[in-house]
Amino acid sequence: DWNIENVLKEEMDKISATVGPEDHVICALSGGVDSAVAALLVHKVLKERLHCVFVDNGLLRYKEGERVMDTFKNHLHLPVTKIDDSKRMLARLKGLKDPEAKRKAIGAGFIEVFNDFAKGFERKPRFLVQGTLYPDVIESMPPPGKDQKHSHMIKSHHNVGGLPKDLQFTLIEPLRELFKDEVRALGRLPELNVPETFITRHPFPGPGLAVRVLGDVTEGEALDVLRQVDEIYINTIRDFGLYDKIWQAFAVFLPVRSVGVQGDQRTHSSVVALRAVTSSDGMTADWYPFEPKFLQTVSSRICNGVRSVNRVVYDITSKPPGTIEWE
Ligand code: XMP
């Protein structure tokens, strides 16, 4: 019978059968629900032979690194090593404008970090745990009969299509057949006991803010501006009690400038777009119909709070034809 308790048992059994008694395993934590649930599940089987890594790639949200490290330690009780790879990652991204090129560079950067980390072991870990979900697999898959190079896949999610061909690890992906709501149900089981505030976090893509700063992310202050705008946006959504009604909400930094007037002065500064969608699995989505009062509040909070932004627009595109992320 398919039920979530059985999924837990079966996936734990698979890990016992795959990983040898002497093997050590690395787990890539993103800070989101999926990788945390995958890690907890594997941790139940392997205990101290599981080594979790959280990479600060310079593409995280406002205070995200500190916040998730606190959750891992104090709420999930998972030992995690934090690795700062931000300088190297931003150098890799310098000058890259094409969304797929950016995704590939980020995927390769992650693997470099894990390869380096694995070198520190006497017996090199052969396995890498990832929180890949079923929709990630589907959306990164070339259509039948097409090879990767000529594929019309939607996006190479960094943890599926974005990985290098010569990957030195065998992947362990215990959530590969599950949808998001099933992963949340798994995390809620008493055996894993993930706190509800963590379970209900909006999804966040592996390539982070890089797919939310359109074009070259290393140009100017875009990442910093985006962090500030995003924090104001999410806090306002929480103030209005809307966080749990929305699948995902975030801001996008546009590489254009528009003319404005702030304090009697002409300005020529940045435009940000806000996106919020409802969805059941991320494969299709509808834009969220905020009340005008909300839009008014968030727009003035952003323009008053972030000096270099003088215009806020709201994305009214569903998926399809848009994807959830802009890149
Ligand atoms: P799109 O933009 O393809 O996104 O409609 C669907 C869902 O997947 C998330 N997403 C990613 N998640 N690695 C991930 O782990 C990725 O490379 C990636 N790209 C998109 C996106 O945030 C949305 O929830």
Q: Are residues 164 and 221 located together in one domain of the fold? A: no
Q: What percent of the chain has pLDDT over 90?
A: 87
What mean pLDDT comes out for the span 213-236? 97
Asked whether residue 18 is domain-assigned, the answer is yes
Which atom of ligand 1 is the closest one to the Cα of 155?
Answer: 3
Query: Does residue 207 lie in a domain region?
Result: no
**% of the chain exceeding 70 in pLDDT:** 94
Give the torsion sign (CA, 116, 163, 100, 312): negative
Position 146 scores a pLDDT of 55
Same domain, residue pair 87 and 188: yes
Q: Are 139 and 195 within one domain?
A: yes
Q: Among 35-44, 119-128, 268-277, which stretch is predicted with the lowest mean pLDDT? A: 119-128
Phi, psi (rounded to 5 degrees) for 52? -90, 140
Compute the distance from residue 204 Cα to the ligand 1 centre, in Å: 7
Which residues surround ligand 1 with Cβ inside 6 Å?
136, 139, 154-155, 157-159, 203, 205-207, 248, 282, 319, 323-325
> Would you say residue 89 lies in a domain?
yes
> Binding site: which residues?
30-36
Ligand 1 atom with the smallest distance to the CA of 325 is: 2
pLDDT in tens, 92-106: 999 999 999 999 999
Model confidence pLDDT, tens digit, residues 116-157: 999 999 999 999 999 999 998 888 777 666 555 444 467 776
What are 182-211's pLDDT values in tens digits?
999 999 999 999 999 999 999 999 999 999
Section 269-297 average pLDDT: 97
* Burial of residue 130 (number of CB atoms within 10 Å: 0-12, 13-18, 19+): buried
Task: Please give the structure tokens belonging to residue 211.
Answer: 């797919």
Domain with residue 119: its CATH number is 3.40.50.620
In this structure, the answer to whether residues 297 and 156 fall within a common structural domain is no
Question: Is the ipTM above a cut-off of 0.95?
Answer: yes
Closest ligand 1 atom to Cα of 323: 5
Residue 321 covered by a domain? no
Q: Structural domain of residue 307, as residue ranges? A: 212-314
Residues 6+ apart with CB under 8 A from 142: 148, 150, 151, 152, 153
Q: Atom 12, ligand 1: which residue's CA is nearest?
A: 205
Q: Mean pLDDT of all residues in the chain?
A: 93
Check residue 158 and give its pLDDT.
55
Residue 277 has pLDDT above 60, yes or no: yes
Judgement on whether residues 40 and 141 belong to the same structural domain of the protein: yes
260 and 124 belong to one structural domain: no
167 and 188 part of one domain: yes
pLDDT tens digits for range 156-180: 765 655 566 678 899 999 999 999 9
**Residue ending a domain, choose from 199, 222, 241:** 199
Same domain for 226 and 119: no
Identify whether residues 291 and 195 lie together within a single domain: no
The binding site for ATP consists of: 30-36
Query: Which residue, 199, 233, 257, sits at the end of a domain?
Result: 199
Q: Indicate the top mutation candidate among 325, 326, 327 to test ligand 1's pocket, ranked by most ligand atoms within 8 A of CB.
A: 325
Question: Looking at residue 282, which CATH number applies to its domain?
Answer: 3.30.300.10
pLDDT above 50 for 31:
yes
Q: What is the pLDDT of residue 151?
A: 43
Residue 131 lies in a domain: yes
- What was the pLDDT predicted at 166? 72
Q: Which has the higher per-residue pLDDT, 225 or 143?
A: 225
Distance 265 CA to ligand 1 centre (A): 39
Of all atoms in ligand 1, which is nearest to the CA of residue 285? 5
224 and 138 belong to one structural domain: no
Residues 153 and 300 reside in one and the same domain:
no
Q: Based on the domain organization, do 225 and 292 belong to the same domain?
A: yes
Q: What is the pTM of this model?
A: 0.92
Task: Tell me which of 66-70, 162-166, 258-262 is least confident.
Answer: 162-166
The count of structural domains within the chain is 2
> Is pLDDT above 80 for 75?
yes
Mutate which of 37, 155, 326 to test ligand 1's pocket (most atoms within 8 Å of Cβ)? Answer: 155
* Residues 179/281, Cβ–Cβ less than 8 Å: yes
Q: Is residue 182 part of a domain?
A: yes
